[in-house]
A and B are shown apart, each in its own frame.
Chain A
C-alpha cells in the first residue's frame, strides 16, 4: 500500500537500527496511525508482509498498546488525564466539562468527526496538573475556561485550513 514518503524514509532508516526486522513495529505503527487516523486492515497486512509476521501477531501487538487503535476516531483526540495528580487538581471536572461541551463520552467521537474524547492515564504532566493532550500537544494547568479555549483553537485551525 502507498504510505507517505516521510513514513517510508523513517521506516527504512529505522529498520537498519536493529538486528531484527520486527523491532520497528511499535514506532512504525504509531507513525502510520498518525497518517491514517487508525490502523486499517490494509496497513496491518502491509506491515505483516514487510516484517514477515502474521496479521495475528500484528493485531496482538496493536491491542496491547493503548495509543494504537484499529477504530477510526476524530481529527483531534482529546485525552484528559484523570490520574491521581490531575484528579487532585480537578482533572475529572475537565473531563466532565469536555463530555458536556463535546456531547460525547469516553472514546466517543463528535458527529462532525472533529473531536474524540478519551480519559487517559498519567501523561507525565503531574506538576502542571490538570492536563490534557490533544493529539500530541500538551495543555496544562487547565481550567474549564482554558479547556474551552483549547477546543476553540483547534476548531479555528480547521476552519482556517478549510478557508485557505
Chain B
C-alpha cells in the first residue's frame, strides 16, 4: 500500500497506509502504552491507555483503533495525555488488591510498570475493594478476579488465536468477569496462552504459582523437547541443591518460530526433569538386579565388553538404537561411533515419518521444503492426513492464523473430521487409508474416484478441489505419516504442477527429522546418503562398513538367533515402543542410557543416567527442517549428556577420541597443517568463533565441535552459524539421494496434546490434566464465533 505522511511528536515520517497509529508510533521508536491492544488480535479500545492527541480532533483518541491518515499530526505525550493515563492506572488500582509482594506477576507486571511510569503513587481510594475468591479452573489455570484489569487478551488468544473459545465475559459493569466455558472450570487445550498473555497476575499457572520471584530466575531460551514442531520455550531456572532447577516454562521471548504460541507441553511439561524417578547414578546388573555403581565402573565395564565383542565377532554383533529426542550432534556422534568405533551399520531409531523417501522424492530440487515460518505466510496450504491440532500444535497455530490474518486458503484432506476443517476453504473427508488414492487423484488418475467418494464428499467436491489446487501458487503441502514411500514421489509430482509449491513431511518427536538427517539408519549415512555410496564419509573417517546394517526388528531377530551380542540404546525405549519380547535380548549385553527406568531397563545390563534436551547444548531440527539451538537450562547432579557418555565409552574402548570429535584449540591446537581427516577442523572452528567473538572452551564433550563436521558434511546444513548462535532458526534443505524403505518400519507416535511418549509419562502437569479429563465426560468440539 502507498505510504502516508504523518507527524509524530514533531517528527515527520511516512508509514504504509492502513497502519494503526500505535504501530506507527512503535516503529518510530515511540512507546504508546496499552493493556488491551495486542498485535494480531481484534481491537478493543478498552483500556484507554493509548490515548493520544490528534490535531483537529477535540477529544484524545486511542492510538490502537486509529488508522493513520495523510497529514495526521499526533502528540503522544503531554501533560493532558500523561494525566489521562495516570488516571486510568488510578482507576484500575481502585479495585486492584495490591498484593504485589506475593503475586506471581510481581516484577513482570504491566500494571506495576504503568503505575511506576505514570506516578500513580497516591492512593485516592478509601472504600472497600470489590473482592471475589480465587478460582482454580483446571490443573494448570487459576483465576484471581480482583487482579484482573479486563483487557480481554485472554479471551482473544483463546478464541481468535487457539480457536478454542473457552473464555468469555460474564456480567456487566464493575461485576464483569472473565468466565470459563464450564461455569466454574475450563475444558480446553490447557495451552496456557491465556496465562502467558495476561498483563497482570490474574491468570496464574498451577505449575509455577508461588514458587519463586521472577528476579530470582535466569531465563534461558531453548527448543522444546516434545513434538516435532520445535517451538522456542523460555525456561526460568535457579540454583538448587541438586543442580539447576527449572521453575517455569513460558514464552517470554516471542522471537522464536512460534511467535506467541506455546502448547501445554512446551509450557508445563518440562517437569519430567525433576521427576523423583529420575535415575541419578549408573546401574549395573549384578546377580540379576540393577545395582548402583560409579561412572568409572560402568564405563570400564562397557568399554571392555564392547571392545571384546568387536574384537571377537566384529561390529556386526552389536546393535545401536538412537533417539528422536537427542540432539543432532549426539545423533551424528552416535552413528559415527557405531560406524567408526564399533564398525557396524547396525543403527536405527524409532521412525515416525518417511524422511528417506521424502529426500528421494525431492532429490535435485532446490527450495522445495517449507519452513515453519513459511507456513504462516503461504497464500495457500494443503494438509493431507495427520491432525495438526493435536499432533503438531504449532503447525496448527500457524495454519489457523495464516487463514485468519492473511486470508490464506486452506485445503484439508483427512479421514477424520479434524478440527482444522473449521479454517478450511475446502475439506475432503475421505475413507481411512485412502490417502494414497487421493494423491493419485490429484495426479490425474480419475479411476480412483470411486474409492474416495463418500456421503460427505461427493465426486464433484473432489474434482473441484483438484481444480482449485491446480490454480494455486506457492502452495505449501503438508502431509502426515499416512503417505510413505512411492506415494511421496507422486505427491511431489503433483506439487511440481503448482508454481512455487513447497512441502512439509511430518515426523512426531522433537528431533525425529534430525535423527533422520543425521543418518540413524542401517543403510543411510547422514544426509540420506546410502552407505554403499559413502565415499565422502569414508575418506573423512578413514573407513566405514559397506553393507547395510540391521533395522530394529532385524536386531531383535538377530538377538534371538544369538548373533547380536550387544545392544546399545541411547534415549529410546524400544521394548515398549516395538513391543519387543524382553527375553529376546537375554543373552545380549544391553547398555541403555536414559532418564528413567523404562521398560527397556528390564533387559539392560548397564543403565546410564542421561541428561535430557533441556540439560544440554546442541541443535534440534524440527519437522520442517528448521535448525535451532538447544541451550543448557537445567542440570541434575549425577547425570551426563549423552554426548559425553558416548565419547567416554569410545575412549574406554581405546579409541582416539580426537578422531571421533574434532576438538582442540588453545596452544594444543592442530593448526591445520597436519594430515588426517579432521585436520584443521577444530581450528577452523576456533578461528571462526574468535572472529565472531564467540570463543568457547573446547573439549571432546563440546557438541559445537561436531557441529562443524555436520555443517561441512551433511547436505543442507551449511547454514549461517552466526545466525544460528544468535538464536534464530535456520532452514535446512533436505539432502539426497534418499532411499525407499519398507513402509511398515514407520510407527507413528500418535501422541496428542497431553501425551508425549515416555517424557509425557513422567510429567506431573500432563498427568494431572489427563486425570482431570478422565473424571469428566468427553466434550464435543465447540463452534467458533
Do A and B truly interact? Answer: yes
Cα of A38 to Cα of B167 in the assembled complex, Å: 24
B759-785 near A? 1/0 per residue, CB < 8 Å: 000000000000000000000001101
In the complex, the answer to whether B172 meets A56 with C-beta atoms within 8 Å is no
Chain B residues near A60: list those with CB within 8 A: 168-170, 179
Task: Give complex CA distance A102, B741 in Å.
Answer: 84
- B582 CB → nearest A CB, Å: 49
For A62-95 the 0/1 string (1 means CB < 8 A from B) is 0110000000000000000000000000000000
Q: Do the beta carbons of A59 and B783 come within 8 Å of each other?
A: no
| Residues on A with beta carbons closer than 8 Å to the beta carbon of B783 | 52-54
Cα A63 to Cα B169 with chains together (Å): 9
Measured between beta carbons, the chain B residues less than 8 angstroms from A57 are 165, 168, 785
Residues on A with C-beta less than 8 A from B166 are 56
Q: Which of B167, B171, B181 contacts A63 (CB 8 A)?
A: B171
**B165 / chain A contacts, CB cutoff of 8 Å:** 54, 56-57
| In the assembled complex, A55 has its CB within 8 A of some CB on chain B | yes
- State the CA gap A63–B171 with chains docked (Å): 5
Q: How large is the interface on B (under 10, 10 to 19, 20 to 34, 35 or more residues)?
A: 10 to 19
A56 to B183, CA, bound (A): 8
Return the contact of B179 from the options A52, A53, A56 (Cβ within 8 A): A56
Residues of the B chain whose Cβ atoms lie less than 8 Å from the Cβ of A52: 783
Flag if A55 contacts B181 (CB, 8 Å).
Answer: yes
Q: Are B172 and A59 in contact (CB under 8 A)?
A: no
Contact with B along A27-56 (1 / 0, CB 8 A): 000000000000000000000000011111
Binary CB contact string for chain A from 115 to 130 against chain B (1 if under 8 A, 0 otherwise): 0000000000000000
- Alpha-carbon gap, A57 to B167, bound state (A): 9
Residue pair B785, A59 in contact (C-beta under 8 Å): no
Output the nearest chain A residue to B785 by Cβ-Cβ distance.
A57
Please determine whether B782 and A59 come into contact, CB atoms closer than 8 angstroms: no
* Cα(A60)–Cα(B169), bound, Å: 6
* Cα distance A63–B166 in the bound complex, in angstroms: 17
Contacts of A63 in B (CB 8 A): 170-172
| B785 close to A64 (CB less than 8 A) | no
User: Separation in Å of the A16 CB from the closest CB of chain B?
Assistant: 21
1/0 per residue, CB under 8 A from A, across B150-172: the answer is 00000000000000011111111
- The residue of chain A having its C-beta at the shortest distance from the C-beta of B169 within the complex is A60
Contacts of B180 in A (CB 8 A): 56
A59 to B166, CA, bound (A): 12
Interface pair B172/A64, CB less than 8 Å apart: yes
Cα–Cα distance between A56 and B155 once the two chains are bound (Å)? 12
What's the minimum C-beta distance from B664 to chain A, rounded to whole angstroms? 62
Q: Determine if A64 and B168 form an interchain contact, defined as CB atoms under 8 angstroms apart.
A: no
Chain A residues in 8 Å Cβ range of B171: 63-64
Which of the residues B170, B172, B181 comes within 8 Å of A54, measured between beta carbons? B181
Interface centre among A56, A63, A64 (most CB of B within 10 A): A56
A119 to B166, CA, bound (A): 34
Complex CA gap A119/B147 in Å reads: 30
State the CA gap A52–B781 with chains docked (Å). Answer: 12
Residues of A within 8 A of B172 (CB): 63-64
User: Nearest chain B CB to A42's CB is how many angstroms away?
Assistant: 14
Interchain CA distance A57-B168 in the complex, whole Å: 7
Which residues of chain B (166-202) have a CB below 8 Å from chain A? 166-172, 179-181, 183
- List B contacts of A56 (CB < 8 A): 165-168, 179-181
**Chain A residues near B179 (CB-CB < 8 A):** 56, 59-60
How many Å lie between the Cα of A73 and that of B170 in the bound state? 21
- A41 to chain B: closest residue by CB: B183
Q: Which residue of A lies closest to B181 (CB)?
A: A56
Closest to B782 in A: A54
Interchain CA distance A64-B166 in the complex, whole Å: 18
- In Å, the complex CA distance between A56 and B783 comes to 11
Q: Which A residues touch B183, using CB under 8 A?
A: 59
CB distance from A13 to the nearest CB of B (A): 24
The smallest C-beta distance from B171 to any residue of chain A, in angstroms, reads 5
A65: nearest residue on chain B (CB-CB)? B172
Binary per-residue interface labels of chain B (707-728) against chain A in the complex, 1 for a CB within 8 Å, 0 otherwise:
0000000000000000000000
Nearest CB to that of A61 among chain B residues?
B168
Residues on A with C-beta less than 8 A from B167 are: 56
A49–chain B nearest beta-carbon distance, Å = 10
- Which residues of chain B from 453 to 486 have a CB within 8 Å of any chain A CB? none
Residues of A within 8 A of B169 (CB): 60
Closest to A58 in B: B168
Beta-carbon nearest neighbor of A51 in chain B? B783
Please indicate the chain A residues that have their CB under 8 angstroms from the CB of B785 in the complex.
Answer: 57
Closest to A62 in B: B170
Tell me the complex Cα distance, A60–B168, Å: 7
Select the residue from B165, B166, B168 with max chain A CB neighbours within 10 A. B168
**0/1 per residue, B204-227, Cβ < 8 Å to A?**
000000000000000000000000
B187 to A: closest C-beta gap in Å: 10
Q: Which residues of A are found within 8 Å of B170, using beta-carbon distances?
A: 59-60, 63
A43 to chain B, nearest CB (A): 15
CA–CA, A64 to B175, complex, Å? 10
CA of A59 to CA of B167, assembled, Å: 11
Q: How far is the CA of A27 from the CA of B454 in the complex (A)?
A: 41
Bound: A52/B165 CA distance, A: 13
Distance A59 CA – B172 CA, assembled complex (angstroms): 12
Which residues of chain A have C-beta atoms less than 8 A from B181's C-beta? Answer: 54-56
B292 to A: closest C-beta gap in Å:
53
Interface flags for B383-397 (1: CB within 8 Å of A; 0: not) read 000000000000000
- Contacts of A89-138 to chain B: CB distance below 8 A: none
User: Which B residues are CB-close (under 8 A) to A53?
Assistant: 783
Which of A57, A59, A63, A64: most chain B Cβ within 10 A?
A63
B277 to chain A, nearest CB (A): 39
A64 nearest in chain B by CB position: B172
Measured CA separation A55–B169 after assembly (Å): 12
User: How close is B535's CB to chain A, nearest CB, in angstroms?
Assistant: 62
CA distance A52 to B783 in the complex (A): 6
Q: How far is the CA of A81 from the CA of B782 in the complex (A)?
A: 40
B180 nearest in chain A by CB position: A56
A53 to B159, CA, bound (A): 13
**A64 vs B165: C-alpha distance in the bound complex, in angstroms?**
18
List the B residue with the shortest CB-CB distance to A22. Answer: B785
- Which residues of B are found within 8 Å of A55, using beta-carbon distances? 181
Tell me the minimal C-beta distance from B472 to chain A in angstroms: 30
Can you give 9 contacting A-B residue pairs, CB < 8 Å?
A54-B165, A56-B165, A56-B180, A57-B168, A59-B170, A59-B179, A59-B183, A60-B170, A60-B179
Top 5 nearest A-B pairs (CB, nearest first) are A60-B168, A56-B181, A56-B168, A63-B170, A63-B171
14 extra A-B contacts, CB within 8 A, seeds A56-B179, A57-B165, A57-B785:
A52-B783, A54-B181, A54-B783, A55-B181, A56-B165, A56-B166, A56-B168, A59-B168, A59-B183, A60-B168, A60-B170, A63-B172, A64-B171, A64-B172
Binding site for B on A (CB under 8 A): 52-57, 59-60, 63-64
